[in-house]
Structure 1
Amino acid sequence: MKDKLLVIVGPTAVGKTALSIELAKRYHGEIISGDSMQVYKGMDIGTAKATVEEQQGIPHHLIDIKNPTEPYSVADFQSAAMPFITTINNKKKVPILVGGTGLYVNAVIHQYELHKKQGDNDLRHKLEQLAVENGSMHVYKLLQEADPVSAKQIHPNNVRRVIRALELTKVTGIPFSEQQKEEEMESPYDLVYLALTMDRDQLYERINKRVDLMMEQGLLEEVTRLYRQGIQNCQSVQAIGYKELYQYLDGEISLEAAIDLLKKNSRHYAKRQLTWFRNKTDATWFDMSNGLNSHVFLEICQFIEGNWPQMAKYRDSQLEEES
């Protein structure tokens, strides 16, 4: 018997958090964050962590487990997430993996054998030095030459992934994109895989409004605290929402320009997320353009119960409680 795993992915601001909590309440679930930045302590507003009130008593895992100065990789996430899936199943509950970091989610779903990918420390250090001396675009162009497919899938500013893809391409002689294809296999889990989407203009408007709300909630103060702690050139503060305000705090741009840039970068990121999930997953898509209303929630529940008929008992018991 395979362990169950419910997965919810989608672009930023599409409504993953609200849906995951409602499904966890209905199906006796616990939530595993599949977000590469929610692992960091003290980075709450900019990473859109669910507040204690929003969590509604649902256990959340892999949130606030790292200091902002610590690196965090897909291998770290995989090794941390998989035991939670087993533990939650053993409690006869449903693990719900929720996130927008596609590579992290797929690394768990397909149990990529990341530890077998032996790199070359000397080569990596040389590439890192090239990036420092000549800029991120220099190493990105090297990746474009070595593996154009990976270059299209990795953003030029994600220097760590660019260098890793280059390193593994050169060490193995096989393009990193081909290595990823070889990893695609049947999931070891009894998997229900949901992806959320939304009308593009509506999604972008939600993103813009969410940035405004984050600023009202104290995002600038949150970023300023990290800045004053001397946290510089760390993976954590390269995240969208932090790097733009760091530019403001460095005196490079105005606050208004930083907020506009944050909105722009968030919209572009959402577009890349949608493209990635459509191209790299076999998830079933649900349209959230009308919000998490009773119709779409029922549709999602029916899909889950169609794959896992035993889940209907939770729905029935809940209906009895409500009546």
Structure 2
Amino acid sequence: MLGPTSTGKTSLAIKLCQEFNGEIVSADSRQVYKFMDIGTGKLPSDPNLKVVKGDGFWDQDGIKIRAYDLALPTANFTVVDYARVAKEETESIIRRGKVPFLVGGTGFYIDVLLGRSPVSNISPDWKFRESLKDISAEELVKKLKLLDPRALESIDKNNPVRLIRALEIAQAEKSSVTKVFKPLSFPTLFIGLTASRNILFRRGDLFVDDLLKRGILQEVEFLIQHGYKNSRPLAGLIYDQFVKFSVGETTLEESLERAKFDTHAYIRRQLTWFNRNTDVTWFNIEKDNLCASVKSHIQSFLDGK
């Protein structure tokens, strides 16, 4: 179950897991980090929903969500690290006679786990990455076009982290990379949640506004006090703007406005990525019969229809 941020993927998946005896495996590149609960959307918006935290999973409303809290924010936790954990969890769910629901908005993580995107055995070159960290995404695209134009066919051109990694691989002169992860090979049903752009942007704005009531400033302050200020996850979506406010670089109004702008851009990138997958059946979250429609679609898949 995939789709842009703030489309209610997890809450719908929990209801469906209750119907189909399922468990959730998160597919979110930020939810793997410990202590980052509010800004990543791990913590449910309903304060009455019972949450029990375990080792690498949360239990929400009686349904386990795997692949949460796998690493500290300072860890070099890669997509391959995620895929290995997610594969193991998915296979465990199936062995126990349950239905696995892979749920999230990080398309690259989903595609690597399911074998739709290749991964490389080339180790990180931190000196090389440092030399590119201040270069714009536009300039990184130009560099990659010179080194490996084919890589541009399957990469988010607005994501500097992905672009630098692609340049790193190309620079290592290993264009035919060695696979280091054997993906899942089970039959897969792709369900996408979406709405009009205006609705998606409005829901993103509401998510950002609600963060203050839910304690995002306190969460960011905790992360800063515990030495995570300069970690990569805190330089990402949502957190970077609230870190800037916390250290006095921006006003709260400026941080909120920028966080909303960044969220809109992220939603556009997510849609671009997911729309490449022609196997996705899309459902409009504005429809009153959303849950029933998705449930019927899943039942048909499980029945082999």
Say yes or no: TM over 0.5.
yes
Q: Tell me if structure 1 keeps the 8 A contact 2:241–2:255.
A: yes
Question: Does 2:50 align with 1:53?
Answer: yes
Which structure has the larger Rg? Answer: 1
Bigger fraction of residues in helix: 1
Instruction: Give ranges in structure 1 of 5+ residues lacking alignment.
Output: 1-7, 312-323
Q: How many residues align?
A: 290
CA-based RMSD of the aligned residues comes to 2.8
TM-score, normalised via structure 1 length: 0.81
Q: Is the alpha carbon distance of 1:144 and 1:95 closer, same or farther for their aligned partners in structure 2, counting shifts above 3 Å?
A: same
Change (3 A) 1:44 1:281: farther
Q: Which residue of 2 aligns with 1:84?
A: 89
Contact kept, 8 Å, 2:23 with 2:65, in 1: the verdict is: yes
Residues in 2 aligned to 1:86 and 1:120: alpha-carbon distance in whole angstroms: 27
Pair 249,31 (structure 1): closer, same or farther in 2 beyond 3 Å: same
Give how far 1:264 is off. Answer: 0.8
Aligned to 2:16: 23
**Could you give the per-residue CA deviations for residues 255-314 of structure 1, whole angstroms, max 9, x where no partner exists?**
110011001101110111011000145211111123xx3x22222122112221189xxx
Question: 1: distance between equivalents of 2:216 and 2:170?
Answer: 39
User: Map of 1:141-220 to 2, 5 A cutoff?
Assistant: 141-147=142-148, 150=151, 153-156=155-158, 158-159=160-161, 161-172=162-173, 174=175, 188-220=185-217
Query: How much does 1:126 deviate?
Result: 4.2
Equivalent residue, structure 1, for 2:54:
none
Q: Residue in 2 aligned with 1:301?
A: 295
Contact 1:120–1:167 (Cα < 8 Å) also in 2: no
Task: Determine which structure has greater relative contact order: mean sequence separation of CA pairs < 8 Å that are 6+ residues apart, divided by chain length.
Answer: 1
* Residue 101 of structure 2, aligned match among 93, 96, 111: 96
Q: Residues 137-171 of structure 1, C-alpha deviation per residue, up to 9 Å, x if partnerless?
A: 55454224434565583355533x22210122233
% identical equivalent positions? 32
The CA distance in 1 between the partners of 2:169 and 2:34, in whole Å, is 31
Task: Say if 2:81 is the partner of 1:70.
Answer: no
Give distance in 2, aligned partners of 1:245 and 1:209: 16
**Aligned counterparts of 2:242 and 2:151: Cα–Cα separation in 1:** 29
Q: Which amino acid is 1:245 matched to? A: F
Q: Which has the larger displacement, 278-287 or 67-76?
A: 278-287
Deviation at 1:247, TM superposition (A): 1.7
Quote the Cα distance in structure 2 between the aligned partners of 1:140 and 1:227: 32
Distance 1:65 1:188, change over 3 A: same
In structure 2, what is the Cα distance between the partners aligned to 1:130 and 1:136? Answer: 12
Farther off after superposition, 186-195 or 141-150? 141-150
| One-letter amino acid of the counterpart of residue 166, structure 1 | L
Residues 254-263 or 59-68, more deviating: 59-68
Q: 2:235 aligns with which of 230, 234, 238?
A: 238
Question: Structure 1 residues 143 and 232, CA, compared in 2 at 3 Å: closer, same or farther?
Answer: farther
Query: Which amino acid letter does the alignment assign opposite residue 143 of structure 1?
Result: L
- Alignment map for 1:126-145 (pairs within 5 Å): 126-132=127-133, 134-137=134-137, 139-145=140-146
Contact 1:71 1:235 in 2 (8 A): no
Give secondary structure in 2 for the equivalent of 1:253. Answer: coil
**Number of the residue aligned with 1:250:** 247
Q: Deviation string for 1:199-249 (max 9, x for gaps)?
A: 111111111111111111111111121122231331221221111111222
Within 2, Cα distance between the matches of 1:136 and 1:125?
18
**What is the distance in 2 between the residues matched to 1:258 and 1:81?**
33
- Which whole-Å CA distance do the structure 2 matches of 1:142 and 1:242 have between them? 29
Name the SS of the counterpart of 2:5 in structure 1: coil
Residue 69 to residue 125, structure 1, CA distance change in 2 (3 Å): closer
Letter matched to residue 301 of structure 2: N
Q: 1:39 aligns with which of 32, 48, 52?
A: 32
Identify the residue that residue 122 of structure 2 maps to in structure 1: 119
2:140 and 2:160 in contact (8 A); partners too? no
In structure 2, the residue matched to 1:315 is none
Equivalent pair of 1:244/1:261 in contact (CA under 8 Å): yes
Find the aligned partners of 2:270 and 2:205 in 1 and give their Cα distance. Answer: 17
Q: 2 CA distance for matches of 1:220 and 1:147?
A: 42
- Once the two structures are TM-superposed, the CA of residue 111 in structure 1 deviates from its matched residue by 7.2
Contact kept in structure 2, 1:240 and 1:265, CA below 8 Å: yes
